[in-house]
């Protein structure tokens, strides 16, 4: 294996740059950039990688094939091989079209309630399959798994991203996921330390405060992190959380008491500590763009993720070193951990004698082989099995569902109609009801309020796509609740299908008439829609997708 260039030969600015991970679009062309406030143009990104020498890049958006080319382009620009990461908690397809999109982790908790062995097997398969597909497209660092205990149903930012709402359940599934991912040379990340589950405020927008005692944290929030550390997780991501019992001044990301004393010293974690994105409102609203990265390094972080101003962050950290605020030894300690991590993920790529040895990608990696390595039958079968085993179906007798009624309509409520990758013209949620004669009506949080009293009665299939919505608040839940209540009161509701989070369903079941059939599925992708509507209408949706088995969970 070709050794990485020694970091001792880098200038101070180049050393500090290795501590910075920037965000970029997975799309190849500037005109495709979706979030220009966070994603640089190609020329700026090239300068950050080539001239500044940033240590890594977080990608979002684009197809799996595009990302495969993008990651090779990034590595070609780099003098020191990059850590390339993505928030792919639910698979590469969650962020990059064409790859496999798994149901959210919370689906495994519902399976574990009746069959914990099966749930752990699914978690292990998820970890292995996500890691394998990540490597195919050039991603070597999974910003997963989420190990928060989601013990607050109103949590807008964790929600179905968690493996469950109990410390033991989350610990078991976390360990299984890591066991699977560790079959491949990728980095894994436990997040969001010391626990983001019991929050009702979105840290993307403002700083949540968790009032729990240290004893409560040790009993509930910390065990899954301890399990992840014991299982060899490579990195821990800190959460933007104010926890007075640990630090009454700084949020966890910027807190030496939380990062150094608790995580490093008490829990004995020796791997990478990475901040959550520093562009998030919980940090940007209270700390300067360049002061926050300095505080994060002081607290004990090794990697600063998505600083508002990467160049300014590098300069500010360098200045802190020059003035003695941060010691050179502190920077060197982070570099040692970063180098060990890059050696781990580069073990199959850093071979040969060329200046850019990682360009010699091994068989099974790259655009030429992507179609034989992505979304393979075994992986799709695992997705289908998890969807089927976690789905809830209620088919009452008698039932109000009458596919032969006149003037039927299919009302779909989703967060954002313009940004719903799971809703296309031929998506099962649209296509199947259309074949059965249902007229389509789509609603999102931007749709003007409907004056229900002026509407003529219509037998209605109501499909709700609801899960935790970072940056968006609870407006969608309110819209969905208004529609559901109106349809129940006016006797128009034929059936209900809910995709995503189980928590709204629990709130609605007491008001749902007993002759209204419903289906709940954790997934929102096409496969989930197909299984849900097949179960509801007892008809095939797509000959390529097998019908679900005769499992019926009657509430």
SS3 137: coil
Instruction: Give the span between the Cα atoms of 59 and 46, in whole angstroms.
Output: 14
Region label for 375, one of left (φ > 0), alpha (ψ between -120 and 50) or beta (otherwise):
left
Which DSSP helix (H) or strand (E) runs through 493? strand 493-500
Task: Decide if 204 is catalytic.
Answer: yes
Secondary structure of 168-222 as H, E, C letters: HHHHHHHHHHHHHHCCCCCECEEEEECCCCCCCCCCCCCCCECCCCHHHHHHHHC
Burial of 355 per CB tally in 10 Å (0-12, 13-18, 19+): exposed
Instruction: Give the span between the Cα atoms of 385 and 132, in whole angstroms.
Output: 19
Phi, psi (deg, nearest 5) at residue 17: -60, -30
* Token pair in block for residue 57: 């890049």
Interstrand relation of 20-25 and 56-60 (parallel, antiparallel or unpaired)? parallel
Burial of 530 per CB tally in 10 Å (0-12, 13-18, 19+): buried
Task: Decide if 555 is catalytic.
Answer: no
Q: From the candidates 30, 204, 309, 542, which is the catalytic residue?
A: 204
Instruction: Give the span between the Cα atoms of 293 and 190, in whole angstroms.
Output: 21
Residue holding tokens 């495969």?
68
Instruction: Give the span between the Cα atoms of 423 and 473, in whole angstroms.
Output: 21
Q: Fill in the DSSP letter of residue 440.
A: E
Residue holding tokens 């982070």?
334
Strand partners, 393: 519
Cα angle value 188/194/197 (rounded, 5°): 90
Cα 338 to chain centroid, rounded: 23
Q: Strands, E, within 99-188: which ranges?
A: 141-142
Give the Cβ contact number of residue 325 at 10 Å.
13
Q: From the candidates 165, 276, 302, 389, which is the catalytic residue?
A: 276
Helix axes 428-435, 526-537, angle to 10 degrees: 30
Residue holding tokens 């949080």?
445
What are the CA-CA distances from residue 226 to residues 177, 244, 279, 302 (Å)? 15, 21, 28, 19
User: Minimal CA–CA distance to 194: which of 105, 141, 259?
Assistant: 259
- Nearby residues of 204 by Cβ (< 8 Å), 6 or more positions away: 157, 280, 281, 282, 470, 471
Question: Where in the sequence numbering do the catalytic residues fall?
Answer: 204, 276
């Amino acid at each position: 294996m070709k050794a990485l260039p020694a970091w001792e030969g880098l200038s101070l600015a180049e050393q500090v740059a290795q501590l910075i991970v920037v965000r970029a679009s997975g799309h190849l062309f500037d005109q495709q950039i979706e979030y220009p406030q966070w994603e640089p143009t190609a020329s700026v990104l090239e300068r950050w990688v080539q001239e500044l020498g940033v240590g890594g890049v977080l990608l979002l958006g684009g197809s799996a094939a595009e990302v495969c080319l993008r990651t090779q382009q990034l590595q070609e620009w780099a003098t020191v091989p990059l850590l390339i990461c993505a928030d792919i908690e639910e698979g590469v397809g969650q962020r990059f079209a064409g790859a496999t999109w798994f149901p959210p982790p919370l689906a495994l908790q519902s399976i574990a309630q009746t069959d914990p062995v099966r749930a752990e097997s699914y978690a292990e398969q998820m970890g292995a399959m996500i890691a394998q597909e990540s490597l195919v497209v050039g991603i070597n660092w999974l910003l997963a798994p989420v190990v928060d205990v989601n013990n607050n149903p109103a949590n807008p930012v964790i929600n179905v991203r968690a493996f469950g709402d109990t410390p033991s359940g989350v610990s078991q599934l976390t360990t299984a996921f890591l066991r699977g991912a560790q079959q491949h040379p990728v980095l894994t990340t436990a997040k969001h330390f010391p626990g983001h589950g019991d929050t009702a405020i979105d840290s993307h927008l403002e700083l949540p405060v968790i009032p729990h005692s240290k004893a409560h944290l040790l009993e509930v929030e910390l065990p899954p992190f301890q399990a992840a550390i014991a299982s060899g997780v490579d990195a821990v991501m800190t959460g933007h959380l104010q926890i007075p019992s640990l630090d009454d001044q700084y949020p966890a990301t910027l807190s030496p008491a939380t990062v150094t004393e608790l995580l490093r010293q008490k829990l004995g974690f020796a791997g990478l500590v990475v901040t959550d994105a520093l562009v998030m409102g919980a940090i940007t609203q209270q700390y300067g763009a360049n002061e926050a990265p300095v505080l994060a390094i002081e607290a004990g972080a090794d990697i600063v993720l998505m600083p508002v101003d990467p160049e300014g962050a590098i300069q500010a950290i360098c200045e802190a070193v020059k003035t003695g605020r941060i010691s050179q030894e502190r920077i060197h300690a982070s570099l040692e951990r970063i180098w060990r991590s890059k050696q781990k993920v580069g073990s199959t790529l850093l071979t040969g004698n060329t200046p850019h040895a990682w360009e010699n990608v091994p068989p099974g990696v790259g655009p030429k082989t992507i179609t034989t390595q992505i979304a393979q039958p075994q992986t799709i079968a695992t997705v289908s099995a998890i969807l089927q085993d976690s789905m809830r179906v209620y088919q009452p007798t008698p039932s109000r569902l009458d596919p032969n009624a006149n003037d039927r309509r299919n009302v779909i409520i989703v967060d954002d109609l313009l940004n719903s990758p799971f809703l296309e013209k031929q998506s099962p949620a649209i296509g199947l009801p259309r074949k059965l004669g249902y007229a389509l009506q789509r609603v999102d949080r931007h749709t003007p309020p409907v004056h229900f009293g002026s509407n003529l009665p219509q037998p209605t299939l109501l499909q709700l796509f609801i899960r935790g919505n970072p940056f968006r608040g609870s407006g969608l839940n309110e819209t969905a609740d208004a529609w559901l209540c109106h349809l129940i009161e006016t006797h128009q509701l034929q059936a209900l299908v809910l995709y995503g989070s189980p928590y709204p369903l629990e709130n609605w079941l007491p008001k749902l008439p007993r002759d209204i059939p419903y289906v709940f599925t954790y997934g929102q992708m096409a496969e989930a829609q197909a299984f849900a509507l097949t179960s509801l209408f007892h008809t095939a949706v797509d000959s390529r997708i097998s019908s679900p088995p005769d499992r019926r969970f009657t509430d």
